[in-house]
């Protein structure tokens, strides 16, 4: 797990700015505290930068890495699994390896398969591969977007980096919030490629970008929907018992692969079935001691008690971080500095503090992200099922829908609608009706009222769903059921942008901790995704196949209902009471100067919410909106107003340069 960055010349006569090497590496020092190196191509048209968190081949795996004759170079962030077997196969074909690093697979697979090499990788990764002889560079991102990779153009050069702050460290690249993307995000619509900042895009998960003298070309090499369709027939031919056994064997394999490292591996552990299953399989694989980590939160969503019960049953070493509301407030800015994205809650801050705990004991943790997306774990999947049943005249579904909407579950991401809004227009644009469209239609008018007058005018007539349809391209959702469309779109957008970014990689790597995600192994996902919906969601029971499969292994928490990972709302950690945080970011003057939100309306909303019952559904929704506003204000201050000061404030110490390693050809160590 590391940080990567670099520059690629796009215009004839343009050269990369080698003087930017140190600044880009320093901005990613927290991702790679164990060493760093770089490579500038002989023609000066390409530059690769790498900061290293040493996990495999601790002594000899420094990057950039090259092939035998030094014509192909690569930097890799992430982990590539099954690398020992793949190395042996490549060696039998005449390839010569210089290190034990899993990342060295990349250059040899490229020699063997050309630009199709990414299809042969299994793991979580972001890669920059430079073919100096062919004059090409490939920027590649893993199938689900576990590892981030951003790009921006400045001075005739394409700059890329694991985090946007390394781009903004380049002279000529200035952070500016994109009003249109802010509009989309406030309307709860995420993009597979866009970011909050103007001119900065992300490499789409499951794709690569090729840069050469002819320009730039994007290619999707893997798509979840295509994989699910390819696997569906084979899965349908199996008995239910055989599907469950295949499901569990693939999950067990995925966990075992992610336990391979030259350093200690731990696991996050909540009170739910996702992390409990991972910890159970890791413990059964013989990890001793298996160190598990839990965050204890104030309020109703504290899962430390059930996590302790599971830890005791598994006989693992358990560590808990009890987080106070004061700590959430104190670390809100820092966690946003690392996530680089707005948030409607303090969940990312809680994960930031949990990762800080893990870093004291291990370098690698297994995490449970992806199970809800693949296995129908979110409350909105049940909402969809009952909306469809109710619309079809099912009286039981109508009764269940009414009970759900009366439950006050705003914090779970539900919208309180008993019908599809703007149905025909949505289907006309997207070809199907995913839940994201219902959220957008529910929130867009309410959210727009909070924006400043100039921003409202700038975004007038902008339809986030139409923009999403354009970003997806083609007919990807055409003809899908609402359940299938919601699952696919969630994986394409919310998973990479929020769960894996704000709650995953960015908070873990803030503390130099590598997160590994067994549920998002693409071979496991090919099985899990192709399961019939009744084996994912049945009679109000989510992740049914996981619960039943783990019961066969004596798993724990298999009957526990879904409990969303939730930090206290803003009322709990109190940034909307008098505090330094609100004085700085939510004062009338701060809102006016930033220019995104109407100061009078935000002030009125804060006053209104304070008079509401603490546990009311409406107050919970307002808390989410106001926290989003606060996060935008913080990001504006950190990145757009005084980036250099924020960089000095939060930057980790620069790691030592990687030593020159012979016989790596022309290896350059900064």
CATH code, 543: 3.40.50.620
- Does 77 share its domain with 210? yes
CB burial string 343-353: b at 16+ within 10 A, e below: bbbbbbbbbbb
Pick the closest to residue 1 from 60, 55, 82, 58 (CA basis): 55
| DSSP letter for each residue of 431-486 | SS--HHHHHHHHHHHHHHTTB-HHHHHHHTT--HHHHHHHHH-TTTTTT--HHHHH
Q: What CA–CA distance (Å, rounded) separates 332 from 656?
A: 30
Number of residues that make up the chain:
670
Is residue 76 one of the residues assigned to a domain? yes
Rg of the chain over CA atoms, in angstroms? Answer: 24
Tokens 């790498």 belong to which residue?
50
Measured torsion, CA atoms of residues 43, 201, 524, 435, in degrees rounded to the nearest 10 = -170
Is residue 421 one of the residues assigned to a domain? yes
- Locate 471 and state its tokens: 């970003």
Whether pLDDT at 224 is above 50: yes
CB 432 within 8 A of CB 577: no
By residue range, what is the domain housing residue 7?
A: 2-175+198-224
- Does 292 share its domain with 323? yes
| CATH number of the domain encompassing residue 118 | 3.60.20.10
The strand order across the sheet containing 123-131 reads 65-66, 72-80, 123-131, 136-141, 207-212, 215-220
Pick the closest to residue 284 from 253, 326, 246, 314 (CA basis): 314
Q: What is the pLDDT of residues 80-104, one digit of tens each?
A: 999 999 999 999 999 999 999 999 9
CB 508 within 8 A of CB 355: yes
What residues does 553 pair with on adjacent strands? Answer: none
- The mean per-residue pLDDT over the stretch 332-350 comes to 95
DSSP designation for 500: I
Q: What is the pLDDT of residues 416-429, one digit of tens each?
A: 899 999 999 999 99
Tokens 């930033």 belong to which residue?
594
Q: How many domains does the chain have?
A: 4
Kindly state the greatest CA–CA separation across the chain: 73
Contacts of 431 (CB under 8 A, 6+ apart): 475, 476, 477, 478, 479, 480
CB 464 within 8 A of CB 444: yes
- Does 398 share its domain with 345? no
Highest-pLDDT range among 54-58, 145-149, 229-233:
145-149
- Does 286 share its domain with 353? yes
- Locate 12 and state its tokens: 């004839």
Q: Mean pLDDT of all residues in the chain?
A: 90
DSSP designation for 654: P
Is residue 426 one of the residues assigned to a domain? yes
- Does 69 share its domain with 143? yes
Pick the closest to residue 129 from 8, 33, 24 (CA basis): 8
Q: Pairing between strand 317-322 and 291-296?
A: parallel
Is residue 590 one of the residues assigned to a domain? yes
- Does 516 share its domain with 367? yes
Q: Pairing between strand 207-212 and 65-66?
A: unpaired
pLDDT at 1: 65
Q: What CA–CA distance (Å, rounded) separates 460 from 448?
A: 10
- Does 246 share its domain with 170? no
What percent of the chain stands above pLDDT 90? Answer: 76
- Does 211 share its domain with 281? no
Is residue 272 one of the residues assigned to a domain? yes
Q: What is the pLDDT of residues 427-449, one digit of tens each?
A: 999 999 999 999 999 988 788 88
Band (pLDDT 50/70/90 cuts) for residue 670 is: very low
Whether pLDDT at 373 is above 90: yes
- Does 239 share its domain with 270? yes
CB 21 within 8 A of CB 670: yes
Beta strands per DSSP E along 72-225: 72-80, 123-131, 136-141, 150-154, 157-161, 201-202, 207-212, 215-220
CB 56 within 8 A of CB 101: yes
Whether pLDDT at 616 is above 50: yes
Pick the closest to residue 264 from 285, 280, 241, 287 (CA basis): 287
- Does 546 share its domain with 479? no
Number of neighbours of residue 519 by Cβ within 10 angstroms: 25
Q: Pairing between strand 537-538 and 541-542?
A: antiparallel
Q: What angle do CA 103, 107, 108 make, to 5 degrees?
A: 105
Pick the closest to residue 255 from 230, 272, 276, 234 (CA basis): 276
Is residue 560 one of the residues assigned to a domain? no
- The mean per-residue pLDDT over the stretch 112-122 comes to 96
- Does 321 share its domain with 436? no
Is residue 461 one of the residues assigned to a domain? no
Beta strands per DSSP E along 174-280: 201-202, 207-212, 215-220, 265-268
pLDDT at 669: 35
pLDDT at 354: 96
CB 18 within 8 A of CB 167: no
- Does 207 share its domain with 252? no
Task: Name the least confident of 60-64, 242-246, 503-507, 666-670.
Answer: 666-670
Is residue 61 one of the residues assigned to a domain? yes
């Amino acid at each position: 797990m590391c940080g990567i960055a670099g520059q690629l010349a796009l215009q004839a006569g343009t050269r990369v700015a080698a003087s930017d090497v140190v600044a880009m590496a320093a901005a990613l020092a927290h991702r790679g505290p164990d060493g760093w190196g770089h490579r500038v191509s002989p023609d000066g048209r390409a530059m690769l930068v790498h900061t290293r968190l040493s996990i495999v081949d601790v002594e000899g795996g420094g990057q950039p890495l090259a092939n035998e004759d030094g014509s192909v170079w690569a930097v890799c962030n992430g982990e590539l699994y099954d690398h020992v077997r793949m190395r042996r196969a490549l060696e039998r074909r005449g390839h010569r390896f210089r290190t034990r690093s899993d990342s060295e697979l990349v250059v040899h697979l490229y020699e063997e398969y050309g630009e199709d090499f990414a299809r042969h990788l299994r793991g979580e990764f972001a890669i920059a591969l430079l073919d100096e002889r062919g004059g090409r560079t490939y920027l590649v991102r893993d199938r689900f977007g576990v590892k981030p990779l951003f790009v921006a153009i400045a001075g005739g050069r394409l700059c890329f980096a694991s985090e946007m702050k390394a781009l903004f460290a380049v002279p000529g690249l200035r952070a500016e919030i994109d009003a249109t993307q802010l509009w989309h995000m406030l309307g709860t619509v995420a993009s597979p490629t866009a970011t909050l900042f103007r001119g900065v895009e992300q490499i789409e998960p499951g794709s690569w970008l090729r840069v050469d003298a002819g320009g730039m070309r994007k290619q999707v090499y893997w798509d979840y929907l295509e994989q699910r369709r390819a696997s569906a027939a084979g899965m349908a031919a199996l008995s239910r018992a055989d599907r469950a056994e295949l499901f569990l064997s693939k999950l067990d394999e995925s966990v075992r692969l992610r336990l391979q490292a030259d350093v200690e591996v731990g696991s996050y552990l909540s009170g739910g079935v996702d992390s409990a299953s991972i910890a159970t399989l890791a413990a059964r694989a013989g990890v001793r001691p298996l160190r598990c980590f839990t965050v204890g939160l104030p309020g109703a969503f504290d899962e430390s008690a059930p996590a302790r019960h599971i830890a005791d049953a598994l006989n693992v070493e358990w560590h808990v971080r009890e987080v106070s509301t004061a700590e959430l407030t104190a670390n809100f800015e820092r966690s946003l500095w690392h996530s680089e994205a707005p948030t409607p809650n303090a969940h990312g801050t809680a994960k930031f503090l949990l990762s800080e705990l893990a870093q004291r004991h291990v370098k690698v943790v297994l995490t449970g992200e992806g199970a809800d997306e693949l296995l129908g774990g979110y409350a909105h999947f049940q909402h969809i099922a009952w909306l469809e049943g109710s619309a079809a005249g099912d009286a039981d579904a109508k009764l269940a829908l009414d009970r759900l909407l009366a439950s006050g579950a705003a914090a779970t991401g539900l919208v309180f609608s008993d019908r599809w809004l703007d149905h025909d227009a949505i289907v006309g644009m997207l070809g199907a009706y995913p839940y994201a469209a219902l959220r957008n239609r529910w929130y867009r008018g309410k959210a727009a009222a909070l924006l400043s007058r100039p921003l409202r005018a700038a975004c007038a007539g902008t339809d986030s769903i139409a923009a999403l349809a354009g970003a997806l391209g083609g007919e990807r959702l055409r003809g899908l059921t609402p359940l299938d469309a919601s699952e696919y779109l969630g994986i394409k957008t919310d998973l990479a942008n929020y769960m894996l970014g704000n709650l995953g990689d960015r908070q873990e790597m803030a503390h130099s901790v590598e997160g590994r995600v067994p549920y998002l192994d693409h071979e496991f996902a090919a099985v899990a995704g192709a399961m019939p919906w009744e084996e994912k969601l049945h009679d109000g029971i989510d992740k049914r196949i996981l619960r039943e499969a783990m019961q066969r292994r004596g798993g724990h928490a298999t009957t526990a209902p879904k409990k969303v990972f939730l930090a206290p709302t803003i009322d709990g950690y109190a940034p909307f009471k008098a505090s330094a945080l609100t004085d700085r970011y939510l004062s009338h003057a701060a809102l006016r100067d930033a220019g995104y939100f109407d100061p009078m309306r935000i002030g009125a909303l804060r006053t209104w919410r304070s008079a509401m019952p603490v546990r009311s559904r409406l107050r919970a929704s307002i808390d989410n909106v106001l926290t989003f506003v606060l996060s935008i204000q913080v990001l504006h201050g950190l990145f757009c107003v005084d980036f250099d000061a924020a960089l000095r404030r939060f930057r980790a110490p620069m790691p030592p340069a990687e030593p020159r390693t012979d016989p790596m050809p022309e290896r350059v160590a900064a």
